[in-house]
Structure 1
Amino acid sequence: MKVMESSNDWELKSLRDLATINYGRSPAAILSIDGLYPVVGTGGTERLGNDYLHEGESIIVGRKGTIDRVHFATGRFWTIDTAYYLSDFKESVPRWLFYFLQAIDLRQMNEATGVPSLSRDLLYKLQIPTPPKPEQIKIAEILSTVDRAIEQTEAIITKQQRIKTGLMQDLLTRGIDEHGNIRSEETHEFKDSPLGRIPVEWEVKYLMEIVAITEGQRDPKREPYHDWLLVAPDHIESKSGLLLTKKTAREQGAISGKYEFSCGDVVYSKIRPYLRKAVLVDFNGLCSADMYPLRPKEGVRSEFVLMVILGERFSRYAESVSERSGFPKINRKELSEFRVALPSGSEQNRMATFAKELSTSSVHNKTHLSKLRSIKTALMQDLLTGKKRVTALLNDTEEITS
């Protein structure tokens, strides 16, 4: 089975020629929280065990269930029974073969009508364009370098998110004084409140005292609404407040009633609150009926409302009340019962500036991550097919750096 066109002078070899495919086994008997060895599947390490099936470099391929992902494993490990692990790499470099299997769509080899599954016999028949080993090594080195950059950027983004979460919690409970410093009870006056200790200048308000929910639905099939941008929950990135895509109601084929929102509103997804999806919109448009368009009242900044909605305390509250029903969803009554510690307008401005600086840095790194992933995709297409030979690529690099 041939799955990729390649350079004419590369030899087509079957996966059987390149490696041995082994069955994973149930880890039930070896699982241990104090285990020394990772128990792995296509998603990486899942648990720990006190025994191992293989030692060395290997590629984990899905046998049942998640068959469209592969994982590179090293050292001593146990492979779960719904996956294969490759060994005895005869005429192939393990890391190069991993990238090849990562580049193809293994789902097209699915033989089941229910749970997706891959047979070992069919995998063995894969016809793989195989460069000489020196080229395999270089290809693997180049793609591994990009992978390391991706992993480092992901780690930075994760660290930034942890820092941002902590700082947002500080802002919503202690605020920023006129000198730009986060308040402390050692240097500023605080008072008791139903929400705990808060700055003496702040007031406690119910959420619906500081925002309003727009009423009435619009027909997205009629003018002018069918040409308006329509925001749905899956258009918003979880926890970040970023809008990932913009499409009109017409482009999405919308037919049921939608809520109208205005520039400056905070659009919040009331379903599955644990996903923490909200965005401050800078345009007029429509949103799904599964969302609340929250319009800040006089004296309340939109950025402050977004901070509250994405904040830890509101998110925990929304998750808690949504669990009362069979489907995770927060209703208007529950929304109205949430209380907020409200600072002055000038302090909200300072908080908004601080939050914007944090978000700008995060967006920059996410953009960089997206570019790295695009570079990897393009390199895989070029290098694994021989469209661009490794020797030529290395020569290009030398010219650039000289």
Structure 2
Amino acid sequence: MEIEEMPKDEQRYAVRAGDLLVVEGHANPQEIGRCALAGPEAQGLLHQNHLFRLSGSCLLPRLAEYLLNSPSSRSHWLARSGTSSGLYTISRRALLDLPLPVIPTALQRRIVEVLDAVTEAERSIEAAIAKQRSLRGDIFAGLVADDCEGRRVTDVVELPSGQVDPRGMPYREQVLLAPDHVESRTGRVIGKETAEFQGAVSGKYVVQPDDVVLSKIRPALRKVALADFVGTCSADMYPLRVTSEVLPKFLWVTLLSEEFSRFAESVSGRTGIPKLNRKDLALYSMCVPPLNDQQRIVETLDAWDLKVANDEHELQKLRVLKQGLADDLLSGRVRADAVA
């Protein structure tokens, strides 16, 4: 595989359909070596100078894209990357040293057909998941009665008061939840790290199981977690503790809803960084149906979320399959004709 260099910048950075563009430098080391195949729509565009443009390979471009994006290739790039001024880079030599299999063209086409079929299945499931997530808000709105009693959130929720030093015991050994640990829009906790591990020094709020932890910074991201641990959270979050009138999970789904998101965005944009302060949060009026109705709503949404989780599991299986096939081809663990 050749890396083309042409004398004129316009020609040097011109993209042609069928070219492979590889990330040469990035602030995130996980991004270096990421590869994309240029389609007809890219014809005539210019690429940025932190990209390698590859062409003229004995491999079909589509197969080369799969192989270059495989976990084995990612490991190859990371092991050979360098860093300067916060930028991670891979050299031309590291790129050219990547071993690629020699496969007859007809067999390459069959392998691409297999990998493309897996990719198409991935896209189908991704579209289904996106649709299910978008409909979840409509389902929640439809389950809440139009004549539901509206209550100020501060009437049914306790806001935190006082902070603790995360360097002291027991807090330094407990989970410290920050906005980065919460997945946007889903409310999933995607990471748990202790205060000591994070090197925390400033004051934090105490968190108890069933607290609903709401990020007050950039509320449009909808980062709301339902705590299942004893620990602390960032001062950029509110740990909300419900009264006997509200189920914790019902408050959680309410704060993840479109309706609350619209409210939070409308009152948080008065400063440079959108922020939902206590005074504004206290203005929110939430639906508080009877507890048995809250439970019914929560159970309905749980069933919906389980379907999404099952689809996500199937999607992950397809991704592992595709990555495994590409890895096996690169490593020689499997013959090309066995894949096709």
Give the greater-gyration-radius structure (CA): 1
Alignment partner of 1:259 out of 196, 202, 205: 205
User: Cα deviation per residue 1:238-292 (whole Å; 9 max; x = unaligned)?
Assistant: 1012111233333433333221122111111111111101111233222111110
Q: Does 1:156 align with 2:128?
A: yes
RMSD: 3.3
Q: Does 1:166 align with 2:138?
A: yes
Q: Does the 8 Å CA contact 2:255/2:261 hold for their aligned counterparts? A: yes
Q: Does 1:212 align with 2:158?
A: yes
SS in 2 for 1:250: helix
Name the aligned partner's letter for residue 237 of structure 1: E
Correspondence for 1:78: 43
SS in 2 for 1:129: coil
Change (3 A) 1:253 1:364: farther
- Work out the percentage of aligned pairs sharing the same amino acid: 33
Correspondence for 1:130: 101
Name the aligned partner's letter for residue 257 of structure 2: G
Alignment partner of 1:203 out of 126, 149, 157: 149
Rounded to whole Å, the distance in 2 between the matches of 1:278 and 1:382 is: 40
User: Cα deviation per residue 1:28-79 (whole Å; 9 max; x = unaligned)?
Assistant: xxxxxxxxxxxxx9xxxxxxxxxx9745x44344577776432234445435
Rounded to whole Å, the distance in 2 between the matches of 1:264 and 1:111 is: 43
Rounded to whole Å, the distance in 2 between the matches of 1:292 and 1:373 is: 36
Change (3 A) 1:240 1:21: farther
Rounded to whole Å, the distance in 2 between the matches of 1:306 and 1:97 is: 45
Rounded to whole Å, the distance in 2 between the matches of 1:90 and 1:230 is: 50
Deviation at 1:150, TM superposition (A): 2.1
Alignment partner of 2:216 out of 256, 263, 270: 270
User: Cα deviation per residue 1:104-126 (whole Å; 9 max; x = unaligned)?
Assistant: 3468668985877889x769845
Correspondence for 2:249: 303
Rounded to whole Å, the distance in 2 between the matches of 1:271 and 1:111 is: 32
Question: Which is strand-richer, 1 or 2?
Answer: 1
Gaps of 5+ in 1: 1-14, 27-40, 42-51, 176-197, 395-402
Change (3 A) 1:76 1:273: closer
Q: Does 1:224 align with 2:170?
A: yes
Rounded to whole Å, the distance in 1 between the matches of 2:334 and 2:230 is: 47
Q: Does the 8 Å CA contact 1:93/1:133 hold for their aligned counterparts? A: no
Q: Does the 8 Å CA contact 2:15/2:47 hold for their aligned counterparts? A: no
SS in 2 for 1:315: helix
Name the aligned partner's letter for residue 137 of structure 2: T
Correspondence for 1:140: 112
Alignment partner of 1:329 out of 269, 275, 288: 275
Rounded to whole Å, the distance in 2 between the matches of 1:125 and 1:383 is: 17
Correspondence for 1:380: 326
Rounded to whole Å, the distance in 1 between the matches of 2:85 and 2:100 is: 30
Correspondence for 2:68: 101
Rounded to whole Å, the distance in 2 between the matches of 1:109 and 1:224 is: 40
Aligned residues: 326
Change (3 A) 1:263 1:123: closer
Q: Please, which moves more after superposition, 223-232 or 72-81? A: 72-81
Correspondence for 1:59: 20
Deviation at 1:372, TM superposition (A): 2.9
Alignment partner of 1:312 out of 239, 242, 258: 258
Rounded to whole Å, the distance in 2 between the matches of 1:67 and 1:81 is: 19
Deviation at 1:170, TM superposition (A): 2.5
Gaps of 5+ in 2: none
Deviation at 1:383, TM superposition (A): 1.6
Higher relative CO (Cα under 8 Å, sequence separation at least 6) belongs to 2
Rounded to whole Å, the distance in 2 between the matches of 1:224 and 1:123 is: 47
Q: Does the 8 Å CA contact 2:103/2:336 hold for their aligned counterparts? A: no
Rounded to whole Å, the distance in 1 between the matches of 2:9 and 2:40 is: 16
Rounded to whole Å, the distance in 1 between the matches of 2:330 and 2:233 is: 43
SS in 2 for 1:367: helix
Q: Please, which moves more after superposition, 61-70 or 88-97? A: 61-70
Question: Which is helix-richer, 1 or 2?
Answer: 2
Change (3 A) 1:356 1:61: same
Q: Does 1:361 align with 2:307?
A: yes
Q: Does 1:91 align with 2:58?
A: yes
Q: Does the 8 Å CA contact 1:24/1:78 hold for their aligned counterparts? A: no
Rounded to whole Å, the distance in 2 between the matches of 1:85 and 1:250 is: 41
Q: Give the structure-2-normalised TM-score.
A: 0.81
Q: Does the 8 Å CA contact 1:146/1:372 hold for their aligned counterparts? A: yes
